Every structure is written in C-alpha cells, then in structure tokens.
Amino acid sequence: MTGQRSDARRNYAHILAVAEAEVAAQGAQASLERIARVAGVGSATVRRHFPTRKALLDAVFKQRVQVLCERARTLQDEHDSRTALVEWLHELLAYSLAARGLADVLSYEPLQDEATQESCGAVIGAAGASLLSRAVDDRAVRADVTVDDLLTLIVGIALATENYTDPKAQAERAFRIAVAGLDATGT
C-alpha cells in the first residue's frame, strides 16, 4: 500500500474492516458485493484492492496469523518439542474455530504447490514446520508426518465440526484422537 493516495489507503482500511466483520459473521463465503455495499464503495473498488476472494481473506487473517506464527517461535524454545507442537496445533485449531473462514483459506491453497510466500497458508506452514522439524529430530513425532499433513488435519477438523451444536467440544475430541496418532512409537 505504500505510494497509494490517502483516500485509497482509507478505502483499503475501511473495506478490510467491513470484510473482517462480514467474514466473522458469514465465513469465507461472505458476499463481496455486500462488503462493497456496506463499505460504501463499488465492487470494482473492492476488486482493485483485493483481486480475488483469497486475497481478501488473506488480508483479513494476516494479523492474527502473524500472532500464531509468533506463538510458534515462542514455543520453539520449550523443552518438550512434542508438547510445543501439539500446543501450537491446538491453538491453531481454536483460532480456526473462532475465526470463521480461516480453515477455508487454508484449504484453498496446497501449501507446497501454489501458495505465495506471504499467503496465510505458507506463513502458517513455515511456522509449523519449524516446530515439527524439532519434534521429529527429537523422535517425539513420527518421521513421516509433514506440516501439510498437520494443517490438513486441523483444517479438516475445523471444517467437519463447524456445524455441530457444540463445534468446540467435537473438535476437541477429534483433535485428541488425532494427536494420539502423532507419537513416534505409532501407538
């Protein structure tokens, strides 16, 4: 956004604030036309700032994703690498449940195939990869587990449980069952 006119920067910030509210209410499928209408701009203005739905969603989640990445860096210093990885995955799941649409954003992009370096999935994947690598090196997690496997697991749990009466309880149960399969012993 550097070099943009002040009105363009204000439009961007206002559209993003409206988009955050709409995505929180409607999820990743929030109407771009409604976002434009509520923001008081034309749909072309929304598309000029956010050429794709994915670009809009990446912007909506960028700050919160950075917090998750910082948390991964903090957990990197924990003594028990498996516990650190599981704690971070649990926090990612909790955020995915609370922030409707994040799981959709992560499911839109195959992490190693098409993601740009700045996208939510790539940034989260890099943060998780460092925790996973340490846990694998410590032989606390199976060596055949990849960060893509873990993110697919979290996204799958979040998407599969979002329509339950109590999504958090169902997601917690699925998470506990899945985490048991990460053990290096395979038990």
**pLDDT, tens digit, 9 for 90 and up, residues 115-140:** 566 778 888 999 999 999 999 999 99
pTM reported for the whole predicted model: 0.77
Phi then psi for residue 158, to 5 deg, are -60, -45
pLDDT of residue 108: 60
**Exposure string (b/e) for 133-172, b if CB count within 10 Å is 16 or more?**
ebbbeeebbeeebebbebbebbbebbeebbeeeebeebbb
Q: How confident is the model at residue 101 (pLDDT cuts 50, 70, 90)?
A: confident
